Every structure is written in structure tokens, then in C-alpha cells.
Copies of this chain bind each other. A is one copy, B any other.
Amino acid sequence: MSATSPPALDAVLAAAAAAAPTLAAATPRARAQLLIALADGLSDAGAELTAIAADETGLGEARLTGEVARTAVQLRLFAETVLTGGALGARIDEADPAFALGHRPDLRRSHRPVGPVLNFAASNFPFAFSVLGGDTASILAAGCPVIVKAHSGHPLLSDATGAVAQRVIAELGFPAGTLQVVHGHDAGVVALTDARVRAGSFTGSTAGGRALADLAAARPAPIPFFGELGSVNPVVVTAAAVAERAPELASGYLASVAGSAGQLCTKPGVLLTATPGPIAAALSRLPRVPEHRLLGARITESYRERRAALLTLPGVTPIIEGSIRIENDGTGWVTPTIVSASLATVLAHRQLLADETFGPLSVLAELPPAADPAAVLDELFEGSLTGTVHISATERAAPGPELARLAEVLAQRAGRVIFDEWPTGVAVSPAQQHGGPWPATTNDTSTSVGSAAISRFLRPVAFQNAPQALLPAELTDANPLGVRQERSRAGESLHWGAPRP
């Protein structure tokens, strides 16, 4: 796939800018119809697209078929969210002549699309985080045109998916600039720094995401940029949980490390426990996981290097040694590797043992008996997308203060805190939070999964003392969209002087 040429890119940017007013003016109903039609188009083309994806990414058919289904559901979920109007955040302050500071005007605030958004697609989810993925769904749901910078790992799939989208967009009468696909690093950089692009989103490496975030921030007119980067996803397992269900924990752990060959941003990179013995024993009894292809030669090489370096560290013992096999063209095939190490060893080699290795590798770290897991996490980890704790049924029924401390430290470090489940598998739902403190994301006040992701591409505008006919529909008294309006009535606020808590 050749890179998008400068003139072609300029045409794409012009088309996106031209499409912006039409999309902004489209009713929620029309936007929802578009999202649903895109979901249908994707599902209909599923067989054709998964064949291309399997060839380009090496991901298995079951995984890819599931991912197409997830991606279609995701588009429908955003359609549902658009229809409820919740993301508009409509607030109405009634005029209040007797407000504490004198006359308060009629003020009505909702959110409008920011304009064209550039989305850098991910390599590891050729559907769910690519051309018709979660970012695109939330960008279109917000009413913004989207330009997808295709990932070089699946260019043919990106164009084929883009063609499906373009067909649907044309059929529904939306402008061609609604969704466009571009290729090549330079095209991405030029587009990100073009005045017509009003926000950026990205899923990928910390280095790549940071470089783009810096470009977005340095523009003459800076724009919001949402980069979802790497993550270690620490897991703590209490001794009581190990005593209760070591085999179940071991198989859950291995499945979470091995799934999609560990090429998931929520793969558990480190599992900490004071009693690793029973988990290690159970792990070594599990059936061998079949070989899985890695996404590309660059990921393969980086995985090979880190894994080799890690296996030669003093104090690191393989529990499941796994394998890596590299073909002449650089294609890598792997089975998962899980190693054990003491906390002291992890602390001595944190760059290798307590940082992300992209691929099916994880570290089972032994906590000293007296160690406080909360303090260890506090010392060892920066921001992560997730943090997980496995506890026993007794601990669940009556969690002690050490678990409360642990939950608090995880909430400080992560966007999602999980109990007794595994971090891989990210539900697409209203309360999802996929984004954590740096270096997990460039902007931890937002999520890139779930319906709250829409708000990244909206900005608030208030209307003061406006005629009803000039208000956005969601702010009118008639409320034809039937959306929730948070209303501050005259006489309600601060009329009793100080609130008395």
C-alpha cells in the first residue's frame, strides 16, 4: 500500500472540513442510522474482511470473527448512546432574578462536535481499534468527520474496510469526507499538524504516542490528543486466594497472558503474590498452548530481544518457558512464557521485569511474607490501564484495611480496578474506563473504550438568553429529542444562604 501523497492528503483534509458542518447538523437519529448501517455493512462483509485480516495479522479466525462482532456491537452501542443524548450533557439554568448575586440569566449548555478528528489505528485490533473501531465510532457519534491513519500492519484490510464504510456513507447520503483512510507516517504527521484537524486519537506504543501528542501540543493552535499507550497491568493475588483456588487462578492467568499472543494492552505483565508456589505448580501442569503468530516482524524482533534478555537474568526462573520461532521473512511464532522472580530481583531489573513486554510473557513475582502489597505497588509501578486483585471468598465477604489500602493504590495507578477477574477483555459499556495515568495514556481524564469515549470529541457551548428557535434542539423547552436536561430552577440554588452539610 503506497503512502497517501501530499495532494491526495490535502483533498482528504478538505473533504473532512467540508463534511464537518453536515455531520454537526445531523440529528441524533441520522447519526445513529449511520452507525447502525456501518455495523450492518461491517457484519455483511465480515467473511471477506476476516480473510484479509487473517493474512495480514496472523490473528486466528475465531478471534477475528469475534472482533468483527464486537466492533459491530460497539457501533450499535454508540448509536444507542447517541439516541439517548446523554453525551450532550444538556444543562439548563433558568433565569433567576433573585439569585444570590442578583439577576442570573437564562443559560443553557450542551456539547457540540469539535470538527475533523484524525485517528491513528492500532495494529493489534484490526477491527475493534482500526477503521471502524471504537475511536471511529465515538468520533462519528460525536458528529465529527474521521480521518483514519491506517496501521501499516493491515493496509489492505484498512482499505477494504474503508470501502465498505464509504459505500454505506454514500448510500445514506452523508458526505464522502465523513470517513476517510490515509496511509503512511508522513501523511499522519502532516494531517495532525494541519489546521483543519481539530483533535487526534491514537492507540499504540508509548514512544509513538508521545511523539504525536507533542506534535499536537506544539501546533500554532494546539488540539486535544488522546493517546492510549502501553501498560503493565499488575495483578495481586492474596495468599488466601491462592490457598482457595490456585489451579483456577493459574489457568485464568495463563489464558489472559496467552490470548491473542499477549498482544493486548491489558495483558497482565506482572503477578505479585506471597505464595507463588501453588500457582507455579498449577501453571506447569497446564496443557501446552498452541503456537500463535505475532502481528509483525518489528513486534517479533522486539519481543525476541526482551524475552531473551529477561531469561538470562540471574534470579529469573522459567515456569512455562514457551518458545519463539522466526521465519526467514521475520514472521514470528510464539507460545507463552511465564517466569518467576523474587521481588528483590524485580526491583533490581525493573526495566525488564516491571515494564511492558508486548507479547505473551509475564512475571510471577514473589512478595516477601511481610511485604505490604500496596506499598510494593506504590514503589514499583507507574500508571497502568488496569490493576487487578484476586481475593478469597472470605476476604470478599469482609475485606480488611490492607485490601482497602491496596484498592486505593490501584485506583491511584490505574483507570480500571478489577477484582477476581482478569484484565484482558474490555467490556464496551457506559461505565467502562480504558485509560490510566501516564504512561498508560497521554490524557487520563478520558477513556478510549465505552460510551464515555464520545466526550473526547465534544466541546461545551452555553447559550445565554437565546430565543428558543435559535437553541440546539436538546436545549429547548420543547425538548423534541427527549434527552435528559439537568435543570437548575430559579429559586433552588443558594437561596437559603449557606448550604448546611
Whether A399 touches B467, Cβ cut-off 8 Å, given contacts A427-B107, A498-B76, A499-B76, is: yes
- Does A69 contact B101, Cβ atoms closer than 8 Å? yes
Residues of B within 8 A of A417 (CB): 461-464, 466
Interface residues of A in 429-453 (CB under 8 A from B): 429-433, 435, 437-439, 442-447, 452
Report the bound CA distance from A186 to B115 in whole Å: 37
Please give me the residue from chain B that is nearest to A407 by CB atom: B470
- Does B439 contact A221, Cβ atoms closer than 8 Å? yes
Residues of B within 8 A of A347 (CB): none
CB of A494 within 8 A of chain B?
yes
Report the bound CA distance from A6 to B93 in whole Å: 45
CB of A368 within 8 A of chain B?
no
Whether A104 touches B501, Cβ cut-off 8 Å, given contacts A109-B432, A109-B452, is: no
- Does A494 contact B80, Cβ atoms closer than 8 Å? yes
CB of A351 within 8 A of chain B?
no
Residues of B within 8 A of A498 (CB): 36, 39-40, 76, 79
Residues of B within 8 A of A491 (CB): none
Report copies per complex.
2
Residues of B within 8 A of A306 (CB): none
Specify which of B224, B419, B442 is in contact with A467 (CB 8 Å cutoff). Answer: B419
Chain B nearest CB, measured from A379 CB (Å): 15
Residues of B within 8 A of A213 (CB): 217, 222
Report the bound CA distance from A401 to B62 in whole Å: 53
- Of A11-19, A249-257, A284-292, A408-416, the one with at least 4 CB within 8 A of chain B: A408-416
Specify which of B33, B438, B497 is in contact with A501 (CB 8 Å cutoff). Answer: B33
Report the bound CA distance from A406 to B86 in whole Å: 27
Residue from A218, A431, A452 whose CB has the most chain B CB atoms within 10 Å: A431
Whether A108 touches B439, Cβ cut-off 8 Å, given contacts A470-B419, A494-B73, is: no
Residues of B within 8 A of A431 (CB): 91-93, 107-109, 462, 488
CB of A367 within 8 A of chain B?
no
- Does A104 contact B469, Cβ atoms closer than 8 Å? no
Please give me the residue from chain B that is nearest to A462 by CB atom: B433
Whether A32 touches B429, Cβ cut-off 8 Å, given contacts A419-B470, A464-B417, is: no
Contact with B along A91-126 (1 / 0, CB 8 A): 111000001110011011100101000000000000
Interface residues on chain A, number (Cβ under 8 Å):
95
Interface residues of A in 378-417 (CB under 8 A from B): 382, 391, 396-399, 403-404, 407-408, 411, 414-417
Report the bound CA distance from A104 to B419 in whole Å: 14
CB of A140 within 8 A of chain B?
no
Residues of B within 8 A of A435 (CB): 460
Report the bound CA distance from A396 to B466 in whole Å: 8
- Does B462 contact A416, Cβ atoms closer than 8 Å? yes
Residues of B within 8 A of A458 (CB): 445
Whether A494 touches B463, Cβ cut-off 8 Å, given contacts A431-B91, A432-B107, A439-B221, is: no
CB of A77 within 8 A of chain B?
yes
Specify which of B107, B419, B447 is in contact with A465 (CB 8 Å cutoff). Answer: B419
Interface residues of A in 237-259 (CB under 8 A from B): none
- Does A464 contact B421, Cβ atoms closer than 8 Å? yes
Report the bound CA distance from A442 to B223 in whole Å: 8
CB of A83 within 8 A of chain B?
yes
Whether A460 touches B433, Cβ cut-off 8 Å, given contacts A466-B419, A498-B36, is: yes
CB of A29 within 8 A of chain B?
yes
Residues of B within 8 A of A416 (CB): 461-464
Residues of B within 8 A of A40 (CB): 498
CB of A302 within 8 A of chain B?
no
- Does B452 contact A460, Cβ atoms closer than 8 Å? yes
Chain B nearest CB, measured from A370 CB (Å): 23
- Does A499 contact B83, Cβ atoms closer than 8 Å? yes
CB of A55 within 8 A of chain B?
no
Give A contacts to B, CB under 8 Å: 21, 28-29, 32-33, 36, 39-40, 69-70, 73, 76-77, 79-80, 83, 86, 91-93, 99-101, 104-105, 107-109, 112, 114, 213-214, 217-218, 221-222, 224, 382, 391, 396-399, 403-404, 407-408, 411, 414-421, 427-433, 435, 437-439, 442-447, 452, 455, 458-467, 469-470, 486, 488, 493-494, 497-499, 501
9 A/B residue pairs, CB under 8 Å, sorted by A: A76-B100, A76-B498, A79-B501, A80-B494, A108-B431, A213-B222, A415-B459, A416-B462, A416-B463
* Closest A-B pairs by Cβ, 5 of them: A433-B462, A217-B217, A109-B431, A91-B431, A107-B431
